[in-house]
Structure 1
Amino acid sequence: MKKIIVSTSTYFIAVTCISLSLLIGNAHAGIRQYSADIQTSQWQLSNASRLQCTLSHQIPRYGEARFSAKASRDLNMEFELDMLRLPDNYSLAEVRSVAPSWQPGVGSRTLANMKLQKQFNPSLPKKVAWTMLNELEQGMSPTFYYNDWYSETDKISVGLSTARFKKAYIAFVSCVGNLLDYSFEDISYTVLNYQSSSDKFTKASQRRMEMIREYLSLDPELELVLVDAYSDSYGGRWSNQQLSERRAAKIRDYFVQNGIEVSRIEAKGHGEKRHISSNDSTLGRAKNRRVVIQMQKP
Protein backbone atom coordinates (compact mmCIF):
# COMPACT_ATOMS: atom_id res chain seq x y z
CA MET A 1 0.00 0.00 0.00
CA LYS A 2 1.50 3.30 -1.10
CA LYS A 3 1.54 6.32 1.18
CA ILE A 4 0.71 9.74 -0.18
CA ILE A 5 2.80 12.49 1.37
CA VAL A 6 1.82 16.12 0.89
CA SER A 7 4.35 18.69 2.02
CA THR A 8 3.36 21.86 3.87
CA SER A 9 4.51 24.01 1.00
CA THR A 10 2.44 22.00 -1.49
CA TYR A 11 -0.66 22.34 0.72
CA PHE A 12 -0.10 26.10 1.06
CA ILE A 13 0.18 26.48 -2.70
CA ALA A 14 -3.03 24.47 -3.26
CA VAL A 15 -5.01 26.52 -0.75
CA THR A 16 -3.65 29.74 -2.23
CA CYS A 17 -4.71 28.68 -5.72
CA ILE A 18 -8.23 27.88 -4.51
CA SER A 19 -8.51 31.26 -2.74
CA LEU A 20 -7.31 33.09 -5.84
CA SER A 21 -9.81 31.27 -8.02
CA LEU A 22 -12.63 32.26 -5.67
CA LEU A 23 -11.52 35.88 -5.71
CA ILE A 24 -11.32 35.87 -9.50
CA GLY A 25 -14.80 34.35 -9.70
CA ASN A 26 -16.22 36.92 -7.29
CA ALA A 27 -14.68 39.73 -9.31
CA HIS A 28 -17.02 38.85 -12.14
CA ALA A 29 -20.07 38.71 -9.84
CA GLY A 30 -19.77 41.49 -7.27
CA ILE A 31 -22.10 42.21 -4.37
CA ARG A 32 -22.92 45.82 -3.56
CA GLN A 33 -23.82 46.02 0.11
CA TYR A 34 -25.94 48.74 1.69
CA SER A 35 -26.50 49.04 5.43
CA ALA A 36 -25.98 51.50 8.27
CA ASP A 37 -23.00 50.82 10.50
CA ILE A 38 -23.11 51.05 14.28
CA GLN A 39 -22.17 54.75 14.22
CA THR A 40 -24.71 55.87 11.61
CA SER A 41 -27.63 53.54 12.40
CA GLN A 42 -30.75 55.45 13.40
CA TRP A 43 -34.29 54.19 14.06
CA GLN A 44 -36.99 56.77 14.70
CA LEU A 45 -40.71 56.84 15.39
CA SER A 46 -42.63 59.20 13.10
CA ASN A 47 -46.36 59.83 12.52
CA ALA A 48 -46.85 58.86 16.14
CA SER A 49 -50.57 59.44 16.67
CA ARG A 50 -53.75 57.45 17.24
CA LEU A 51 -54.20 57.35 13.46
CA GLN A 52 -50.82 56.08 12.28
CA CYS A 53 -47.48 54.87 13.63
CA THR A 54 -44.34 54.62 11.49
CA LEU A 55 -40.96 53.20 12.46
CA SER A 56 -38.30 54.30 9.95
CA HIS A 57 -34.65 53.41 9.35
CA GLN A 58 -32.26 55.26 7.05
CA ILE A 59 -30.04 53.13 4.81
CA PRO A 60 -27.09 55.25 3.59
CA ARG A 61 -26.84 55.69 -0.20
CA TYR A 62 -29.88 53.46 -0.67
CA GLY A 63 -33.09 54.86 0.86
CA GLU A 64 -35.33 54.20 3.84
CA ALA A 65 -37.04 51.20 5.42
CA ARG A 66 -40.45 51.82 6.98
CA PHE A 67 -42.79 49.78 9.17
CA SER A 68 -46.28 51.35 9.34
CA ALA A 69 -49.55 50.60 11.11
CA LYS A 70 -52.80 52.55 10.75
CA ALA A 71 -55.99 52.92 12.76
CA SER A 72 -58.27 50.04 11.84
CA ARG A 73 -60.72 47.47 13.17
CA ASP A 74 -57.99 44.86 12.80
CA LEU A 75 -54.33 45.08 13.77
CA ASN A 76 -52.44 45.82 10.57
CA MET A 77 -48.85 46.34 9.54
CA GLU A 78 -46.93 46.98 6.33
CA PHE A 79 -43.26 47.18 5.48
CA GLU A 80 -42.04 49.41 2.63
CA LEU A 81 -38.55 49.73 1.20
CA ASP A 82 -38.31 53.28 -0.13
CA MET A 83 -35.55 53.15 -2.76
CA LEU A 84 -33.62 56.12 -4.13
CA ARG A 85 -33.43 54.20 -7.43
CA LEU A 86 -36.69 52.40 -8.19
CA PRO A 87 -36.66 48.95 -9.83
CA ASP A 88 -36.28 49.01 -13.60
CA ASN A 89 -37.85 45.60 -14.16
CA TYR A 90 -39.89 42.89 -12.49
CA SER A 91 -38.07 40.38 -10.27
CA LEU A 92 -37.89 38.93 -6.77
CA ALA A 93 -35.78 39.77 -3.74
CA GLU A 94 -35.01 37.11 -1.14
CA VAL A 95 -35.55 38.30 2.43
CA ARG A 96 -33.23 36.57 4.89
CA SER A 97 -32.64 36.92 8.61
CA VAL A 98 -28.86 37.23 9.01
CA ALA A 99 -26.82 37.15 12.21
CA PRO A 100 -24.55 40.17 12.79
CA SER A 101 -20.78 39.76 12.55
CA TRP A 102 -20.41 39.61 16.34
CA GLN A 103 -22.53 36.41 16.46
CA PRO A 104 -20.38 33.95 14.48
CA GLY A 105 -21.84 30.51 13.94
CA VAL A 106 -25.50 31.63 14.02
CA GLY A 107 -27.18 30.52 10.81
CA SER A 108 -29.41 32.63 8.60
CA ARG A 109 -32.89 31.72 7.38
CA THR A 110 -35.22 32.79 4.60
CA LEU A 111 -38.22 34.85 5.72
CA ALA A 112 -39.98 35.56 2.42
CA ASN A 113 -39.65 36.59 -1.21
CA MET A 114 -40.48 40.20 -2.01
CA LYS A 115 -41.80 41.26 -5.40
CA LEU A 116 -39.92 44.04 -7.15
CA GLN A 117 -42.24 45.87 -9.54
CA LYS A 118 -41.01 48.31 -12.12
CA GLN A 119 -40.94 51.92 -10.83
CA PHE A 120 -42.64 51.04 -7.52
CA ASN A 121 -41.30 50.80 -3.99
CA PRO A 122 -41.54 47.16 -2.88
CA SER A 123 -43.55 46.25 0.22
CA LEU A 124 -44.36 43.27 2.42
CA PRO A 125 -47.63 42.33 4.22
CA LYS A 126 -48.44 42.19 7.92
CA LYS A 127 -47.20 38.71 8.85
CA VAL A 128 -43.77 39.13 7.24
CA ALA A 129 -43.42 42.68 8.60
CA TRP A 130 -44.05 41.51 12.18
CA THR A 131 -41.64 38.61 11.68
CA MET A 132 -38.92 41.04 10.56
CA LEU A 133 -39.52 43.18 13.66
CA ASN A 134 -39.27 40.09 15.86
CA GLU A 135 -35.98 39.15 14.20
CA LEU A 136 -34.60 42.65 14.78
CA GLU A 137 -35.64 42.47 18.43
CA GLN A 138 -33.64 39.25 18.77
CA GLY A 139 -30.53 40.88 17.31
CA MET A 140 -30.87 39.50 13.77
CA SER A 141 -30.63 41.62 10.62
CA PRO A 142 -33.35 41.21 7.94
CA THR A 143 -31.48 41.46 4.65
CA PHE A 144 -32.68 41.69 1.04
CA TYR A 145 -30.81 40.04 -1.83
CA TYR A 146 -31.59 40.61 -5.48
CA ASN A 147 -29.94 40.91 -8.89
CA ASP A 148 -29.04 44.41 -9.99
CA TRP A 149 -31.38 45.39 -12.83
CA TYR A 150 -28.61 47.53 -14.37
CA SER A 151 -25.91 44.86 -14.29
CA GLU A 152 -26.67 41.17 -14.78
CA THR A 153 -23.43 40.05 -13.08
CA ASP A 154 -23.94 42.10 -9.91
CA LYS A 155 -26.03 41.36 -6.84
CA ILE A 156 -27.31 43.79 -4.24
CA SER A 157 -27.55 43.24 -0.51
CA VAL A 158 -29.58 45.60 1.70
CA GLY A 159 -29.48 45.04 5.45
CA LEU A 160 -31.41 46.52 8.36
CA SER A 161 -29.17 47.31 11.29
CA THR A 162 -30.05 46.30 14.86
CA ALA A 163 -28.06 49.21 16.33
CA ARG A 164 -30.28 51.64 18.29
CA PHE A 165 -33.35 49.60 17.40
CA LYS A 166 -34.87 48.52 20.70
CA LYS A 167 -35.74 51.92 22.21
CA ALA A 168 -37.50 53.08 19.03
CA TYR A 169 -39.20 49.68 18.69
CA ILE A 170 -40.64 49.84 22.22
CA ALA A 171 -42.07 53.30 21.45
CA PHE A 172 -43.48 51.99 18.16
CA VAL A 173 -45.23 49.02 19.82
CA SER A 174 -46.71 51.38 22.41
CA CYS A 175 -47.97 53.65 19.62
CA VAL A 176 -49.53 50.71 17.75
CA GLY A 177 -51.32 49.61 20.91
CA ASN A 178 -52.88 53.09 21.20
CA LEU A 179 -54.27 53.27 17.64
CA LEU A 180 -57.98 53.83 17.15
CA ASP A 181 -59.88 50.60 16.55
CA TYR A 182 -61.60 52.06 13.48
CA SER A 183 -60.40 53.77 10.31
CA PHE A 184 -61.41 56.78 8.23
CA GLU A 185 -63.24 54.46 5.83
CA ASP A 186 -65.37 53.17 8.73
CA ILE A 187 -66.84 56.61 9.45
CA SER A 188 -66.36 58.65 6.24
CA TYR A 189 -70.01 58.00 5.35
CA THR A 190 -72.25 57.75 8.40
CA VAL A 191 -76.02 57.76 8.88
CA LEU A 192 -77.25 58.77 12.34
CA ASN A 193 -80.82 58.55 13.62
CA TYR A 194 -82.88 60.75 15.96
CA GLN A 195 -85.47 60.24 18.61
CA SER A 196 -89.02 61.16 17.54
CA SER A 197 -89.72 64.95 17.21
CA SER A 198 -86.32 65.72 18.68
CA ASP A 199 -82.80 66.79 17.77
CA LYS A 200 -81.40 64.18 20.18
CA PHE A 201 -79.74 61.06 18.81
CA THR A 202 -80.63 57.50 19.60
CA LYS A 203 -78.12 55.79 21.94
CA ALA A 204 -76.46 53.91 19.07
CA SER A 205 -76.04 57.13 17.08
CA GLN A 206 -74.65 58.93 20.14
CA ARG A 207 -71.85 56.35 20.31
CA ARG A 208 -71.21 56.74 16.59
CA MET A 209 -71.10 60.51 16.92
CA GLU A 210 -68.46 60.22 19.62
CA MET A 211 -66.32 58.13 17.26
CA ILE A 212 -66.61 60.81 14.57
CA ARG A 213 -65.77 63.58 17.06
CA GLU A 214 -62.68 61.72 18.21
CA TYR A 215 -61.49 61.13 14.66
CA LEU A 216 -62.06 64.75 13.63
CA SER A 217 -59.97 65.97 16.55
CA LEU A 218 -57.05 63.82 15.39
CA ASP A 219 -56.99 64.20 11.61
CA PRO A 220 -55.88 67.63 10.30
CA GLU A 221 -56.14 66.47 6.67
CA LEU A 222 -59.93 66.48 6.50
CA GLU A 223 -60.92 68.83 3.71
CA LEU A 224 -64.71 68.98 3.98
CA VAL A 225 -67.47 67.70 6.24
CA LEU A 226 -70.96 67.52 4.71
CA VAL A 227 -73.95 67.37 7.06
CA ASP A 228 -77.41 66.68 5.59
CA ALA A 229 -80.32 66.38 8.04
CA TYR A 230 -83.81 64.97 7.28
CA SER A 231 -87.10 64.40 9.09
CA ASP A 232 -90.08 62.08 8.78
CA SER A 233 -93.40 63.46 7.43
CA TYR A 234 -95.21 63.82 10.76
CA GLY A 235 -95.70 67.20 12.46
CA GLY A 236 -96.18 69.55 9.48
CA ARG A 237 -93.87 70.33 6.56
CA TRP A 238 -92.71 73.73 7.81
CA SER A 239 -91.98 72.54 11.35
CA ASN A 240 -90.13 69.50 9.97
CA GLN A 241 -88.00 71.77 7.81
CA GLN A 242 -87.10 73.88 10.84
CA LEU A 243 -86.38 70.75 12.88
CA SER A 244 -84.00 69.37 10.23
CA GLU A 245 -82.16 72.71 10.04
CA ARG A 246 -81.76 72.74 13.83
CA ARG A 247 -80.38 69.22 13.67
CA ALA A 248 -77.84 70.17 10.99
CA ALA A 249 -76.81 73.37 12.83
CA LYS A 250 -76.37 71.51 16.10
CA ILE A 251 -73.95 69.04 14.52
CA ARG A 252 -72.05 71.86 12.78
CA ASP A 253 -71.66 73.71 16.10
CA TYR A 254 -70.55 70.49 17.78
CA PHE A 255 -67.79 69.99 15.22
CA VAL A 256 -66.66 73.62 15.49
CA GLN A 257 -66.43 73.28 19.27
CA ASN A 258 -64.09 70.33 18.70
CA GLY A 259 -61.63 72.23 16.55
CA ILE A 260 -63.01 71.92 12.99
CA GLU A 261 -63.00 75.20 11.06
CA VAL A 262 -66.53 76.31 10.24
CA SER A 263 -65.44 77.04 6.64
CA ARG A 264 -64.82 73.31 6.15
CA ILE A 265 -68.35 72.32 7.19
CA GLU A 266 -71.45 72.44 5.02
CA ALA A 267 -74.64 71.81 7.00
CA LYS A 268 -78.13 71.73 5.47
CA GLY A 269 -81.61 70.74 6.62
CA HIS A 270 -83.87 69.09 4.02
CA GLY A 271 -87.03 68.50 6.03
CA GLU A 272 -89.30 65.79 4.60
CA LYS A 273 -87.41 65.45 1.31
CA ARG A 274 -85.67 62.28 0.17
CA HIS A 275 -87.36 59.69 2.37
CA ILE A 276 -85.59 56.35 2.39
CA SER A 277 -88.48 54.41 3.91
CA SER A 278 -92.26 54.50 4.30
CA ASN A 279 -93.71 56.88 6.91
CA ASP A 280 -96.60 54.49 7.55
CA SER A 281 -94.70 52.48 10.16
CA THR A 282 -92.75 53.33 13.31
CA LEU A 283 -89.65 51.64 11.91
CA GLY A 284 -89.90 53.52 8.61
CA ARG A 285 -90.28 56.90 10.32
CA ALA A 286 -87.26 56.14 12.53
CA LYS A 287 -85.15 55.55 9.41
CA ASN A 288 -86.29 58.85 7.87
CA ARG A 289 -85.34 60.85 10.98
CA ARG A 290 -81.67 60.89 10.09
CA VAL A 291 -78.56 62.89 9.38
CA VAL A 292 -75.94 61.88 6.82
CA ILE A 293 -72.35 62.89 7.57
CA GLN A 294 -69.76 62.64 4.79
CA MET A 295 -66.09 63.44 5.19
CA GLN A 296 -63.65 64.09 2.37
CA LYS A 297 -59.86 64.06 2.23
CA PRO A 298 -57.68 65.71 -0.45
Structure 2
Amino acid sequence: MANQANAGIRQYSADLNSSSWQLANDSRLQCTLAHQIPHYGQARFSAKASRKLNMEFELDMMLLPDSYSLAQVRSESPNWRPGNGGRVLADMKLHKQFNPSLPKKVAWTMLSELEQGMSPTFYYNDWYSEQDKISVGLSTARFKGAYQNFVACVSNLLNYSFDDIAYTVLNYQSNSDKFTKASQRRVDMIKEYLSLDPELELVLVDAYSDSYGGRWANFKLSERRALQIRDYFVKNGIDASRIEATGYGEKRHIASNETTLGRGKNRRVVIQMQKM
Protein backbone atom coordinates (compact mmCIF):
# COMPACT_ATOMS: atom_id res chain seq x y z
CA MET A 1 0.00 0.00 0.00
CA ALA A 2 1.12 3.60 -0.56
CA ASN A 3 2.74 5.32 2.38
CA GLN A 4 4.93 8.32 3.19
CA ALA A 5 7.86 6.34 4.59
CA ASN A 6 10.34 9.00 3.55
CA ALA A 7 9.73 12.69 2.98
CA GLY A 8 9.06 13.34 -0.69
CA ILE A 9 8.75 9.65 -1.56
CA ARG A 10 5.46 7.87 -2.21
CA GLN A 11 5.91 4.13 -1.81
CA TYR A 12 3.66 1.46 -3.29
CA SER A 13 3.99 -2.20 -2.40
CA ALA A 14 1.99 -5.07 -0.96
CA ASP A 15 2.59 -5.86 2.69
CA LEU A 16 2.89 -9.37 4.10
CA ASN A 17 -0.86 -9.76 4.49
CA SER A 18 -1.95 -8.31 1.15
CA SER A 19 0.79 -9.77 -1.09
CA SER A 20 -0.59 -12.06 -3.78
CA TRP A 21 1.06 -13.81 -6.73
CA GLN A 22 -0.96 -15.90 -9.16
CA LEU A 23 -0.65 -17.74 -12.45
CA ALA A 24 -3.01 -15.59 -14.50
CA ASN A 25 -2.44 -17.55 -17.73
CA ASP A 26 -1.56 -21.24 -17.64
CA SER A 27 -1.60 -22.83 -21.09
CA ARG A 28 0.75 -24.17 -23.74
CA LEU A 29 0.42 -20.85 -25.56
CA GLN A 30 1.08 -18.34 -22.78
CA CYS A 31 2.14 -18.24 -19.13
CA THR A 32 1.61 -15.12 -17.02
CA LEU A 33 2.69 -14.58 -13.43
CA ALA A 34 0.79 -11.62 -11.97
CA HIS A 35 1.27 -9.59 -8.78
CA GLN A 36 -1.19 -6.99 -7.48
CA ILE A 37 0.27 -3.75 -6.14
CA PRO A 38 -2.38 -2.05 -3.96
CA HIS A 39 -3.50 1.41 -5.15
CA TYR A 40 -1.03 1.25 -8.05
CA GLY A 41 -1.71 -1.55 -10.53
CA GLN A 42 -0.33 -4.94 -11.46
CA ALA A 43 3.10 -6.38 -12.31
CA ARG A 44 3.17 -9.18 -14.91
CA PHE A 45 5.82 -11.60 -16.13
CA SER A 46 4.77 -13.29 -19.40
CA ALA A 47 6.20 -15.93 -21.72
CA LYS A 48 4.61 -17.10 -24.99
CA ALA A 49 4.88 -20.14 -27.22
CA SER A 50 7.88 -19.64 -29.50
CA ARG A 51 10.89 -21.31 -31.10
CA LYS A 52 13.07 -19.59 -28.51
CA LEU A 53 12.58 -19.08 -24.78
CA ASN A 54 11.19 -15.59 -24.25
CA MET A 55 10.02 -13.43 -21.38
CA GLU A 56 8.65 -9.93 -20.86
CA PHE A 57 7.85 -7.88 -17.78
CA GLU A 58 5.07 -5.28 -17.85
CA LEU A 59 4.05 -2.78 -15.20
CA ASP A 60 0.31 -2.18 -15.67
CA MET A 61 -0.28 1.20 -14.06
CA MET A 62 -3.66 2.55 -12.94
CA LEU A 63 -2.38 6.03 -13.89
CA LEU A 64 -0.27 5.94 -17.06
CA PRO A 65 2.83 8.14 -17.47
CA ASP A 66 2.10 11.70 -18.53
CA SER A 67 5.54 12.35 -20.02
CA TYR A 68 8.70 10.53 -21.07
CA SER A 69 11.17 9.68 -18.32
CA LEU A 70 13.32 6.88 -16.94
CA ALA A 71 12.77 4.67 -13.93
CA GLN A 72 15.67 3.01 -12.16
CA VAL A 73 15.12 -0.65 -11.37
CA ARG A 74 16.89 -1.81 -8.21
CA SER A 75 16.94 -5.02 -6.22
CA GLU A 76 16.26 -4.13 -2.57
CA SER A 77 15.92 -5.99 0.70
CA PRO A 78 12.28 -6.12 1.80
CA ASN A 79 11.31 -4.27 5.00
CA TRP A 80 11.01 -7.52 6.95
CA ARG A 81 14.49 -8.65 5.86
CA PRO A 82 16.86 -5.69 6.40
CA GLY A 83 20.61 -5.81 6.14
CA ASN A 84 21.28 -6.79 2.52
CA GLY A 85 22.55 -4.06 0.23
CA GLY A 86 20.63 -3.29 -2.93
CA ARG A 87 21.91 -3.09 -6.50
CA VAL A 88 20.86 -1.51 -9.80
CA LEU A 89 19.34 -3.95 -12.31
CA ALA A 90 18.38 -1.70 -15.23
CA ASP A 91 16.75 1.51 -16.41
CA MET A 92 13.16 1.30 -17.64
CA LYS A 93 11.75 3.75 -20.19
CA LEU A 94 8.45 5.39 -19.29
CA HIS A 95 6.60 6.52 -22.41
CA LYS A 96 3.62 8.85 -22.29
CA GLN A 97 0.31 6.94 -21.96
CA PHE A 98 1.93 3.48 -22.27
CA ASN A 99 2.54 0.77 -19.72
CA PRO A 100 6.31 0.34 -19.34
CA SER A 101 7.96 -3.02 -19.99
CA LEU A 102 11.32 -4.74 -19.73
CA PRO A 103 12.91 -7.37 -22.02
CA LYS A 104 13.76 -11.01 -21.41
CA LYS A 105 17.15 -10.75 -19.71
CA VAL A 106 16.07 -8.15 -17.14
CA ALA A 107 12.76 -9.95 -16.53
CA TRP A 108 14.55 -13.23 -15.73
CA THR A 109 16.99 -11.37 -13.49
CA MET A 110 14.08 -9.85 -11.54
CA LEU A 111 12.53 -13.30 -11.09
CA SER A 112 15.86 -14.61 -9.84
CA GLU A 113 16.11 -11.75 -7.35
CA LEU A 114 12.59 -12.46 -6.07
CA GLU A 115 13.44 -16.15 -5.70
CA GLN A 116 16.39 -15.13 -3.53
CA GLY A 117 14.17 -13.03 -1.27
CA MET A 118 14.96 -9.63 -2.78
CA SER A 119 12.42 -7.06 -3.91
CA PRO A 120 12.78 -5.48 -7.40
CA THR A 121 11.82 -1.84 -6.95
CA PHE A 122 11.20 0.97 -9.44
CA TYR A 123 12.15 4.59 -8.69
CA TYR A 124 11.06 7.56 -10.77
CA ASN A 125 10.05 11.22 -10.44
CA ASP A 126 6.39 12.04 -10.06
CA TRP A 127 5.03 13.41 -13.36
CA TYR A 128 3.03 16.14 -11.61
CA SER A 129 5.52 17.10 -8.91
CA GLU A 130 9.16 16.75 -9.93
CA GLN A 131 10.31 17.28 -6.34
CA ASP A 132 8.57 14.08 -5.29
CA LYS A 133 9.72 10.56 -6.08
CA ILE A 134 7.74 7.36 -6.42
CA SER A 135 8.93 3.87 -5.54
CA VAL A 136 7.09 0.71 -6.56
CA GLY A 137 8.21 -2.56 -4.99
CA LEU A 138 7.42 -6.19 -5.80
CA SER A 139 6.79 -8.25 -2.68
CA THR A 140 8.53 -11.57 -2.05
CA ALA A 141 5.66 -12.81 0.15
CA ARG A 142 3.80 -15.81 -1.35
CA PHE A 143 6.05 -15.69 -4.41
CA LYS A 144 7.83 -19.04 -4.47
CA GLY A 145 4.83 -21.34 -4.87
CA ALA A 146 3.36 -19.29 -7.72
CA TYR A 147 6.82 -18.99 -9.31
CA GLN A 148 7.32 -22.76 -9.31
CA ASN A 149 3.97 -23.15 -11.08
CA PHE A 150 5.01 -20.47 -13.56
CA VAL A 151 8.31 -22.21 -14.35
CA ALA A 152 6.44 -25.49 -14.90
CA CYS A 153 4.08 -23.70 -17.29
CA VAL A 154 6.96 -22.12 -19.23
CA SER A 155 8.65 -25.51 -19.63
CA ASN A 156 5.44 -26.83 -21.24
CA LEU A 157 4.98 -24.05 -23.81
CA LEU A 158 4.78 -25.02 -27.48
CA ASN A 159 8.12 -24.61 -29.25
CA TYR A 160 6.49 -22.69 -32.11
CA SER A 161 4.22 -19.65 -32.36
CA PHE A 162 1.17 -18.60 -34.36
CA ASP A 163 3.38 -16.69 -36.79
CA ASP A 164 5.32 -19.88 -37.54
CA ILE A 165 2.22 -21.65 -38.88
CA ALA A 166 -0.21 -18.85 -39.85
CA TYR A 167 0.64 -19.43 -43.52
CA THR A 168 1.66 -22.98 -44.33
CA VAL A 169 2.20 -24.82 -47.61
CA LEU A 170 1.82 -28.61 -47.49
CA ASN A 171 3.03 -30.93 -50.23
CA TYR A 172 1.90 -34.41 -51.25
CA GLN A 173 3.57 -37.50 -52.54
CA SER A 174 3.08 -38.08 -56.28
CA ASN A 175 -0.51 -39.01 -57.33
CA SER A 176 -1.47 -39.58 -53.71
CA ASP A 177 -3.48 -38.22 -50.78
CA LYS A 178 -0.50 -38.79 -48.47
CA PHE A 179 1.65 -35.94 -47.27
CA THR A 180 5.39 -35.85 -47.44
CA LYS A 181 6.88 -36.50 -43.99
CA ALA A 182 7.73 -32.83 -43.47
CA SER A 183 4.19 -31.76 -44.35
CA GLN A 184 2.65 -34.36 -42.03
CA ARG A 185 4.67 -32.93 -39.14
CA ARG A 186 3.46 -29.47 -40.11
CA VAL A 187 -0.24 -30.37 -40.23
CA ASP A 188 0.08 -32.02 -36.82
CA MET A 189 1.51 -28.77 -35.45
CA ILE A 190 -1.43 -26.83 -36.89
CA LYS A 191 -3.92 -29.30 -35.43
CA GLU A 192 -2.34 -28.96 -32.00
CA TYR A 193 -2.34 -25.16 -32.16
CA LEU A 194 -5.97 -25.04 -33.29
CA SER A 195 -7.01 -27.14 -30.31
CA LEU A 196 -5.34 -24.66 -27.94
CA ASP A 197 -6.22 -21.23 -29.36
CA PRO A 198 -9.91 -20.23 -29.29
CA GLU A 199 -9.06 -16.85 -30.85
CA LEU A 200 -8.45 -18.47 -34.24
CA GLU A 201 -11.77 -17.79 -35.91
CA LEU A 202 -11.12 -19.00 -39.46
CA VAL A 203 -8.90 -21.57 -41.13
CA LEU A 204 -8.74 -21.51 -44.92
CA VAL A 205 -7.69 -24.79 -46.56
CA ASP A 206 -7.00 -24.36 -50.31
CA ALA A 207 -5.84 -27.42 -52.27
CA TYR A 208 -4.18 -27.50 -55.70
CA SER A 209 -2.96 -30.21 -58.08
CA ASP A 210 -0.38 -30.51 -60.81
CA SER A 211 -1.51 -31.00 -64.42
CA TYR A 212 -0.50 -34.65 -64.64
CA GLY A 213 -3.67 -36.52 -65.67
CA GLY A 214 -7.16 -35.26 -66.56
CA ARG A 215 -8.31 -31.81 -65.48
CA TRP A 216 -11.55 -33.04 -63.89
CA ALA A 217 -9.77 -35.83 -62.07
CA ASN A 218 -7.23 -33.33 -60.75
CA PHE A 219 -9.99 -31.01 -59.58
CA LYS A 220 -11.70 -33.82 -57.66
CA LEU A 221 -8.33 -34.92 -56.24
CA SER A 222 -7.64 -31.40 -54.91
CA GLU A 223 -11.14 -31.22 -53.48
CA ARG A 224 -10.67 -34.55 -51.74
CA ARG A 225 -7.36 -33.38 -50.30
CA ALA A 226 -8.91 -30.19 -48.90
CA LEU A 227 -11.82 -32.07 -47.32
CA GLN A 228 -9.46 -34.67 -45.94
CA ILE A 229 -7.58 -32.01 -43.98
CA ARG A 230 -10.81 -30.42 -42.76
CA ASP A 231 -12.07 -33.81 -41.57
CA TYR A 232 -8.74 -34.48 -39.84
CA PHE A 233 -9.08 -31.26 -37.87
CA VAL A 234 -12.74 -31.89 -37.04
CA LYS A 235 -12.01 -35.42 -35.80
CA ASN A 236 -9.49 -33.87 -33.43
CA GLY A 237 -12.06 -31.60 -31.83
CA ILE A 238 -11.89 -28.48 -34.04
CA ASP A 239 -15.26 -26.86 -34.75
CA ALA A 240 -16.14 -27.43 -38.42
CA SER A 241 -17.57 -23.89 -38.66
CA ARG A 242 -14.05 -22.51 -38.22
CA ILE A 243 -12.74 -24.27 -41.34
CA GLU A 244 -13.32 -23.49 -45.03
CA ALA A 245 -11.98 -26.13 -47.42
CA THR A 246 -11.79 -25.59 -51.20
CA GLY A 247 -10.24 -27.55 -54.08
CA TYR A 248 -8.91 -25.63 -57.10
CA GLY A 249 -7.45 -28.41 -59.23
CA GLU A 250 -4.89 -27.23 -61.79
CA LYS A 251 -5.47 -23.50 -61.17
CA ARG A 252 -2.74 -21.20 -59.88
CA HIS A 253 0.37 -23.22 -60.61
CA ILE A 254 3.47 -21.88 -58.88
CA ALA A 255 6.03 -23.91 -60.88
CA SER A 256 6.49 -25.62 -64.23
CA ASN A 257 4.59 -28.88 -64.76
CA GLU A 258 7.29 -30.03 -67.16
CA THR A 259 9.54 -31.31 -64.38
CA THR A 260 9.08 -33.70 -61.47
CA LEU A 261 10.24 -31.01 -59.05
CA GLY A 262 7.81 -28.45 -60.45
CA ARG A 263 4.85 -30.81 -60.29
CA GLY A 264 5.76 -31.60 -56.69
CA LYS A 265 5.50 -27.90 -55.82
CA ASN A 266 2.11 -27.61 -57.55
CA ARG A 267 0.67 -30.57 -55.60
CA ARG A 268 0.04 -28.50 -52.52
CA VAL A 269 -2.39 -27.36 -49.87
CA VAL A 270 -2.19 -23.84 -48.50
CA ILE A 271 -3.48 -23.33 -44.96
CA GLN A 272 -4.09 -19.78 -43.76
CA MET A 273 -5.26 -18.93 -40.25
CA GLN A 274 -6.90 -15.74 -39.06
CA LYS A 275 -7.27 -14.43 -35.50
CA MET A 276 -10.15 -12.39 -34.12
TM tier relative to shorter chain: over 0.9
In 2: Cα distance, 1:242 partner to 1:258 partner: 24
Query: Percent of aligned pairs with the same residue?
Result: 80
Residue in structure 1 matched with residue 51 of structure 2 by the alignment? 73
Match of 2:104 among 126, 145, 148: 126
Match of 1:54, SS state, is strand
Q: 1:97, CA displacement in angstroms?
A: 0.1
Map of 1:82 onto structure 2: 60
Kindly indicate whether the alpha-carbon contact (under 8 Å) linking 2:5 and 2:11 is maintained by their aligned counterparts in 1.
Answer: no
Mapped to 2, the partners of 1:136 and 1:217 lie a distance apart of 34
CA distance in 2, matches of 1:178, 1:235: 46
**Paired position in structure 2 for 1:14:** none
Give the aligned partner of residue 206 of structure 1.
184
Secondary structure at the aligned position of 2:219 is classed as helix
CA positional deviation for 1:265? 1.0
- Aligned partner of 2:94 among 113, 116, 132: 116
For residue 131 of structure 1, report the CA deviation from its aligned partner.
0.1
User: Taking structure 1 as reference, are residues 101 and 28 closer, same or farther at Cα in structure 2, changes over 3 Å only?
Assistant: closer
Deviation of 1:28 after TM superposition, in Å, equals 11
Of 202, 220, 240, the residue aligned with 1:262 is 240
> What amino acid is the match of 2:244?
E
Matching residue of 2:70: 92
Mean CA deviation greater in 238-247 or 214-223 = 214-223
Equivalent residue of 2:163, what SS? helix
Instruction: Report whether the alignment pairs 1:148 with 2:126.
Output: yes
Where structure 2 has 5 or more consecutive residues not aligned to the other structure, the ranges are none
* Amino acid across the alignment from 2:117: G
Contact 1:227–1:265 (8 Å) recurs in 2? yes
Give secondary structure in 1 for the equivalent of 2:105.
helix
Partner of 2:146: 168
Structure 1 distance, partners of 2:204, 2:191, is: 14
Offset of 1:101 from its aligned partner? 2.4
SS in structure 2 of the partner of residue 179 of structure 1? coil
Q: Which runs of structure 2 are paired with 1:1-298 in the superposition (5 Å)?
A: 30-298=8-276
TM-score for both structures, normalised by structure 1: 0.90
Counterpart amino acid of 1:106?
Answer: N
Matched length:
273
Higher helix share: 1
User: Residue 268 of structure 1: CA displacement?
Assistant: 0.4
Matches of 2:144 and 2:194 in 1, distance apart?
32
Name the SS of the counterpart of 1:287 in structure 2. helix
Gaps of 5+ in 1: 1-25
CA distance in 2, matches of 1:27, 1:249: 67
Cα deviation 1:6-31 (Å, max 9, x = unaligned): xxxxxxxxxxxxxxxxxxxx999611
TM-score normalised according to structure 2 size: 0.97
The Cα RMSD (Å) is: 1.3
Distance 2:5 2:111 in 1: 34
Residues in 2 aligned to 1:111 and 1:167: alpha-carbon distance in whole angstroms:
24
Q: CA deviation at 1:254?
A: 1.1
Give the secondary structure class of the aligned counterpart of 2:32.
Answer: strand
Counterpart-to-counterpart distance in 1, 2:37 and 2:82: 24
Q: Give, as a single letter, the amino acid of the residue that structure 2 aligns with 1:62.
A: Y
Question: Is the CA contact (8 Å cut-off) linking 1:146 and 1:156 kept in structure 2?
Answer: yes
- Opposite residue 29 of structure 2, the aligned amino acid is L
